[in-house]
Amino acid sequence: MKDEHGRLLAKQGYKLVGEHSGVKLCHWMRQKLFYGRACYKEYFYGIECHRCLQMTPVLTDCTQQCVFCWRHPGFEEKDRAEWDEPENLLDAMVKAQRQLVSGFNGDERCSRNLWKEAQDPTQVAISLTGEPTLYPRLSDFIALCKSRGMTTFLVTNGTNPDALERLDTLPTQLYVTVAAPNEEIYRRLCSPMLPDGWERLQRTLGILPSLGNRTRTVVRHTLVEGWNIGWEDEYARLDSKAQPDFVECKGYMFLGHSRLLLTIDNMPKHQRIQEFAGSLSEKTGYAIAGEKADSRVAVMGSGKKQLRIPEKTVKK
């Protein structure tokens, strides 16, 4: 990683781990510790967001330069001779998380009990930045998390279907971001760095039905006002192809690097999300199962699995 990129990430609150990975506290960590307010993933899927380790094994590797991405891009590294071992990564990430959380204990607003629990993450969100399926030891990393009683949520942009097929151990929940209803919008909004990015995404959606008996599957539509809201018929066809357990209709948030490319008017109001989800629900047969206005998200379920499924975790 270039020194100036590393300094910028550190300034933005990242803890750099090993040669190519990083950890960063989510906004909802502070909300949970200070005010008891949980993120929508806790509300929908039953994880504990104050015990969630938000990380990436590929800080500077991605296959897209999405216009709506709040992360600093800097995805200039494509070839790497060596990769860090999963156990070294996980140990270092938990240590980094504890360092990031340590300062909260001095604030009188912070719940002492929740702060103590936050020292030992039980959930790993493999989603912070970059495209995590580019890490060749991802399956081993997920298996290691599982062996330690940790649940895992993997978020992919769908451009690396071969890596998904090679996963011997699947995450607790697999997200695929589908931020465009067709290839034209995909190329303008997601700015793929691969010439066949859309075709790769279609392959990933075709793989999802075969994975549904081994993990929870979610298609996430990241919705940007003026860019990709509407086209419910085309989104419905993509969702029908993927047959996920859940479909998330998630509004773009005007944050980070995306503020250089978009405006606050591109952040849809929650009513807009509700309208889109209602229309998509009618076309797919998926029922609206929950919503959270402060995150501008609505989730639809196929009926195969229920929300807030408890997961067993190891409490040290």
Per-residue model confidence as pLDDT tens digits over 64-73? 999 998 776 6
| Predicted pLDDT of residue 18 | 87
pLDDT of residue 315: 29
Mean pLDDT for the stretch of residues 121-128:
95
- Percentage of the chain lying above the pLDDT 70 cut: 92
Phi/psi region, residue 65 (left: phi>0; alpha: psi -120 to 50; beta: rest), is beta
Least reliable range by pLDDT among 32-36, 127-131, 227-231, 295-299? 127-131
Q: Are 109 and 35 in contact (CB under 8 A)?
A: yes
Is residue 79 over pLDDT 70?
no
Quick: pLDDT tens for 198-215: 999 999 999 999 998 899
Are 298 and 273 contacting, i.e. CB atoms less than 8 angstroms apart?
yes
Q: Average pLDDT, stretch 129-150? A: 96
Residue 76: per-residue pLDDT: 58
Q: How far apart are CA 224 and CA 239, in angstroms?
A: 18
- What is the rounded distance in angstroms from the CA atom of residue 104 to the CA atom of residue 92? 20
Cβ–Cβ under 8 Å, residues 98 and 29 = no
* Whole-number pLDDT of residue 4: 66
Q: What is the mean pLDDT of residues 257-268?
A: 92
Q: What is the CATH number of domain 3-301?
A: 3.20.20.70
Q: Could you tell me if 286 and 300 are in contact, meaning their C-beta atoms sit under 8 angstroms apart? A: yes
Asked whether the predicted pLDDT for residue 311 surpasses 60, the reply is: no
**So what's the pLDDT on residue 310?**
42
Q: Give 107-122 as a DSSP string.
A: STTS-HHHHHHHTS--
pLDDT reported for residue 312: 38
Mean pLDDT of the chain: 91
Q: 78 falls in which pLDDT band (50, 70, 90)?
A: low
Q: Report DSSP state, residue 289.
A: E
* pLDDT tops 60 at residue 316: no
Nearest partner of 164 among 199, 198, 139, 195, judged by Cα? 139
pTM of the model: 0.92
Residue 91 confidence (pLDDT): 97
Report the pLDDT value the prediction gives residue 314, as an integer from 0 to 100: 28
What pLDDT shows up at residue 239?
98
Taking 60 as the threshold, does the pLDDT of residue 283 lie above it? yes
Of residues 128 and 194, more confidence is placed in: 194
Measured in degrees and rounded to the nearest 5, phi and psi for residue 17 equal -125, 125
Average pLDDT over residues 77-104: 89
Instruction: State how far the Cα of 289 lies from the Cα of 303, in Å rounded to an integer.
Output: 9
Q: What is the pLDDT of residue 60?
A: 84
pLDDT tens-digit profile of 3-62? 666 677 777 778 999 889 999 999 999 999 999 999 999 999 999 999 999 999 998 889
Domain residue ranges of the chain, discontinuous segments joined by +: 3-301
Mean pLDDT to the nearest integer, 169-188: 98
Note the pLDDT of residue 303: 86
The pair of structure tokens assigned to 240 is 């029908």
| Nearest Cα residue to 156 out of 25, 46, 58 | 58
